[in-house]
Structure 1
Amino acid sequence: MNASVVPAAVTDAEFAARVLQSPVPVLVDVWAAWCQPCVTLKPVMQRLAESYSGRATVLTLDADTNLEMVTAFDVRALPTVLLFDRGALVARQSGAQSLATYVALLDGQLAARSAGQAPQAIAPTTPAPAVLPTDSPAVREARELAAAGTPTVLFKHSATCSISISVKREYDAFVRQHPDIPTRLVVVQQERPLSNALADVLQVRHESPQALVVRDGQVLWHASHHRITAERMAAAVVAASRTL
């Protein structure tokens, strides 16, 4: 065992070269400094990096500073561990799991490579949105929100996503600081039809967490994940108000 091997960090800019083009399988630990389960997983990743040195690579990806890959691979909870082989995402595990779980993933993929099998890419985790009747209550509310005559902030929140729970603090701060600005909180698990209807009416791909500023049927600003801050929402409302 090579005790000097430590999981290295990878960034959005390096991801294609170091992960998708890697000649060996790559296990990517998507984490954040504020996420306690992510911290407890560090020794597990260390052991994997040591055990599989030369056969597979273990990397870490900071979710707070690498939003492009977080969004591209639909990371909705932390930690999330992604396994890539020859450019394909072949497995994922959300939440801190045991060492044996990740060993099974790596051993299984290495065995498949030895047998000459092509990597089997897994399907995206995000289900296709349901088609709603055009006169449903959700569609009517989505249209009413979109048609607001003054800038309105919409915030889509996933109550089961650690990233969304963290970002919602920014939305809550914005609401406290600007009680006069119209807002609408949409908890996706409780109001999925409305969440889907907003994506359809506004023609903006659904993400959570997601913040949008709308007025007169137009989306004037939108952002997702840690791009959402109270300051940015306030600035977007100010900019939208100037165009009235």
Structure 2
Amino acid sequence: MASEKVVTLTDGNFRSTVLEADKPVLVDFWAAWCGPCKMIAPVIDELANDFDGKAIIGKVNVDDNRQTASEYGIMSIPTLLLFKNGQVVDKAVGFKAKADLAKLINSHL
């Protein structure tokens, strides 16, 4: 079950939700057909709950939002980009453990 705390990001809301955010934003670029994306989805949900109020956790479906995926050069999924003050400050490609992603987020809080 997806967490209601995970923000659905689109080409239309990416700028206002991610680039203009006042806290770090972890963005999961994913697709419905991607096996590793399905594996990491529960981790993303847990992170959204764990970091509620401290960081924003969002997901971009690359099939539905090609402009944003292209703009950030997403070639493999899942790709997770961490934004702070509108800039990419960290990146992880492929399935990552929850502890690794939590450490990545914490290092930018």
TM-score class, shorter-chain normalisation, is over 0.9
Deviation at 1:108?
Answer: 0.3
In structure 1, the partner of 2:62 is 63
Q: Could you tell me which amino acid in structure 1 is paired with residue 63 of structure 2?
A: D
Report matched runs for 1:1-244 at 5 Å: 5-110=4-109
Structure 1: give runs of 5+ residues left out of the alignment: 111-244
Higher relative contact order (CA 8 A, sep 6+): 2
How far apart, in 1, do the equivalents of 2:91 and 2:67 lie? 17
How far apart, in 2, do the equivalents of 1:84 and 1:49 lie? 15
Deviation at 1:57?
Answer: 0.5
Does the 8 Å CA contact 1:23/1:86 hold for their aligned counterparts? Answer: yes
Scaled by the length of structure 1, the TM-score of the pair is: 0.43
Does the 8 Å CA contact 2:9/2:60 hold for their aligned counterparts? Answer: yes
Does the 8 Å CA contact 2:5/2:52 hold for their aligned counterparts? Answer: no
**Identity value in percent:** 35
How far apart, in 2, do the equivalents of 1:5 and 1:54 lie? 13
Q: Could you tell me which amino acid in structure 1 is paired with residue 38 of structure 2?
A: V
Q: Could you tell me which amino acid in structure 2 is paired with residue 89 of structure 1?
A: V
Q: Could you tell me which amino acid in structure 2 is paired with residue 76 of structure 1?
A: M
How far apart, in 1, do the equivalents of 2:46 and 2:80 lie? 15
Deviation at 1:8?
Answer: 2.0
Larger fraction in strand: 2
Q: State the aligned residue count.
A: 107
Deviation at 1:93?
Answer: 0.6
The Cα offsets for residues 143-201 of structure 1, whole Å up to 9 and x where unpaired, read as: xxxxxxxxxxxxxxxxxxxxxxxxxxxxxxxxxxxxxxxxxxxxxxxxxxxxxxxxxxx
SS of residue matched to 1:76: coil
Instruction: State the structure with more CA Rg.
Output: 1
How far apart, in 1, do the equivalents of 2:100 and 2:11 lie? 26
Q: Could you tell me which amino acid in structure 2 is paired with residue 87 of structure 1?
A: G
Deviation at 1:100?
Answer: 1.2
Does the 8 Å CA contact 1:37/1:79 hold for their aligned counterparts? Answer: yes
CA RMSD of aligned residues (A): 1.0
Does the 8 Å CA contact 1:31/1:78 hold for their aligned counterparts? Answer: yes
Deviation at 1:104?
Answer: 1.0
Larger fraction in helix: 1
Q: Could you tell me which amino acid in structure 2 is paired with residue 9 of structure 1?
A: T
Scaled by the length of structure 2, the TM-score of the pair is: 0.94
How far apart, in 1, do the equivalents of 2:34 and 2:50 lie? 25
Deviation at 1:5?
Answer: 4.5
Structure 2: give runs of 5+ residues left out of the alignment: none
Does the 8 Å CA contact 2:25/2:84 hold for their aligned counterparts? Answer: yes
